[in-house]
Amino acid sequence: MGLVAPYTEEIPEIHGVILIDCWESPEWKIHLSRYYQDLVQRLAPLELQCVVNACYGNQIDLNGTDSDTSMINTMNLYCWHDQSRHHIDMIYNMIRSCNGRNETSHTIRKYLLDRETSIFLTTIQDLETHWQKHLGARPMNWLVAGQTWQVCTHTRPLGFPALAGLAQRHLELQFFTADWSILKLDGSPAVWRDYSEDKMAWQEIRSWGFRLLPTITQ
At 123, which CATH number?
3.40.50
d(CA 129, CA 5): 30
DSSP-H helix ranges across 64-200: 69-75, 85-97, 106-108, 124-134, 152-155, 160-169, 192-196
Q: State which residues of the chain have pLDDT below 70.
A: 26-30, 64-66, 82-86, 216-218
Cβ atoms of 44 and 116 closer than 8 Å: no
**Residue 73 lies inside a defined structural domain of this protein:** yes
Per the structure, the count of domains in the chain is 1
**Residue 101 lies inside a defined structural domain of this protein:** yes
> pLDDT tens, 151-204?
999 999 999 999 999 999 999 999 999 999 999 998 899 999 999 999 999 999
**Residue 186 lies inside a defined structural domain of this protein:** yes
- Would you call 101 helix, strand, or coil by DSSP? coil
Q: Give the residue among 110, 16, 122 at the shortest CA–CA distance from 68.
A: 110
**Residue 217 lies inside a defined structural domain of this protein:** no
d(CA 83, CA 25): 35
Q: What is the pLDDT of residue 84?
A: 67
**Residue 218 lies inside a defined structural domain of this protein:** no
In terms of residue numbers, what domain contains 178?
Answer: 2-212
**Residue 171 lies inside a defined structural domain of this protein:** yes
Q: What is the pLDDT of residue 218?
A: 39
Burial class (CB in 10 A: 0-12, 13-18, 19+), 184: middle
pTM assigned to the model: 0.93
The residue type found at 10 is E
**Residue 38 lies inside a defined structural domain of this protein:** yes
